[in-house]
């Protein structure tokens, strides 16, 4: 019962607060953060959409306003609520003592009962302020989690692209990245290259190859776009032209497959 009343109060407070003079142009707390998650969730696969600068700025502004409102509420409760609570406690102690005296001396009937309705109202107001602060704090934490999840998903996609395409990302991906993400990708690429170079007694191993066990050593491939000269491991030179068919070792052309230069042909 108390939980249902708390939910009703939270919804009523959110509606009243959002229809007041708050400058946030959203329907409810957390709507902007939910929109941010939906934006990255709509793009399936490893495609990275453009960075939402304005949306994240609005979410940060909403968090600052929530924090400022909580500070104002706590300050008003400190100056008004805490002395009132101590006053209520002192009166309760006096009333308890009077009640004990009544029980000890039943002949004393001149004392009139004290009406506690106003005191109970004051305590209820303090409890409402606490619930209001909890609602704002929960909304602020939700916004933070959504922002962290948004950036974490973008970095995970960027990491997968490094393993699939190498250090040369497609142009449509690069133009959607921020400067910080490009800097992170450069450092990640350097760290990965340093680790792979240290393997196999310093000779190095390219861990980005053979992510799936090959069924055949040589595969039939079709060239999707003009690439130019391609050097094989045995010293042979091949000129890759668009729409031509080639029979090549998978170990040496897997990078070109990831980059979209070549594609498999089912035989």
**DSSP string computed for 235-248:** S-EEEE-TT-EEEE
Residue 30 in tokens = 């957390």
Range name among 17-21, 127-131, 136-140, 175-179 with the lowest pLDDT average: 17-21
Q: Who's near 15: CB < 8 A, 6+ residues apart?
A: none
Q: How far is CA 75 from the centre of its chain?
A: 31
Distances (CA, A) of 67 to 55, 132, 140, 174, 226: 19, 12, 8, 36, 57
Give the model confidence (pLDDT) of 34-84 as tens digits.
Answer: 999 999 988 777 789 999 999 999 999 999 999 999 888 888 766 654 443
Predicted confidence at residue 77, as pLDDT, reads: 64
Q: Who's near 189: CB < 8 A, 6+ residues apart?
A: 162, 167
Predicted confidence at residue 109, as pLDDT, reads: 42
Predicted confidence at residue 214, as pLDDT, reads: 65
For residue 165, what pLDDT band results from cuts at 50, 70 and 90? confident
Distances (CA, A) of 37 to 49, 62, 145, 156, 199: 12, 16, 10, 15, 39
Q: Is the dihedral of CA 187, 189, 190, 192 positive or negative?
A: positive
Distances (CA, A) of 121 to 32, 87, 160: 36, 14, 59
Quick check: 229 and 238 in contact, CB under 8 A? yes
Dist CA 124 CA 126 (whole Å): 5
Give the model confidence (pLDDT) of 166-219 as tens digits.
Answer: 888 888 889 999 999 999 999 999 999 899 888 878 788 778 776 666 677 788
Give the model confidence (pLDDT) of 89-101 as tens digits.
Answer: 444 454 455 555 4
Q: Is the dihedral of CA 249, 251, 253, 259 positive or negative?
A: positive
């Amino acid at each position: 019962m108390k939980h249902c009343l708390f939910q009703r109060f939270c919804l009523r407070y959110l509606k009243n607060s959002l229809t007041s003079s708050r400058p946030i142009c959203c329907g409810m707390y957390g709507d902007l953060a939910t929109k941010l998650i939906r934006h990255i969730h709509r793009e399936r696969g490893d495609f990275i959409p453009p960075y939402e600068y304005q949306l994240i700025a609005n979410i940060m502004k909403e968090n600052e306003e929530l924090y400022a409102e909580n500070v104002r509420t706590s300050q008003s409760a400190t100056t008004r609520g805490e002395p009132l609570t101590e006053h209520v406690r002192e009166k309760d102690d006096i009333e308890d003592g009077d009640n004990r005296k009544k029980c000890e001396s039943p002949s004393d009937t001149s004392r009139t009962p004290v009406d506690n309705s106003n005191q109970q109202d004051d305590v209820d107001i303090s409890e409402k302020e606490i619930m209001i602060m909890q609602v704002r704090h929960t909304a602020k934490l939700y916004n933070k989690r959504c922002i962290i999840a948004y950036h974490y998903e973008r970095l995970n996609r960027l990491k997968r692209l490094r393993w699939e395409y190498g250090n040369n990302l497609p142009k449509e991906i690069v133009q959607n990245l921020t400067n910080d993400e490009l800097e992170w990708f450069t450092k990640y690429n350097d760290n990965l290259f340093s680790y792979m170079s240290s393997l196999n007694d310093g000779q190095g191993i390219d861990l980005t190859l053979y992510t799936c066990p090959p069924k055949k050593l040589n595969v039939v491939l079709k060239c999707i776009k003009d690439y130019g000269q391609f050097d094989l491991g045995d010293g042979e030179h091949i000129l890759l032209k668009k729409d031509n068919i080639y029979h090549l070792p998978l170990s040496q052309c897997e990078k070109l497959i990831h980059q979209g230069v070549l594609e498999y042909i089912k035989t």
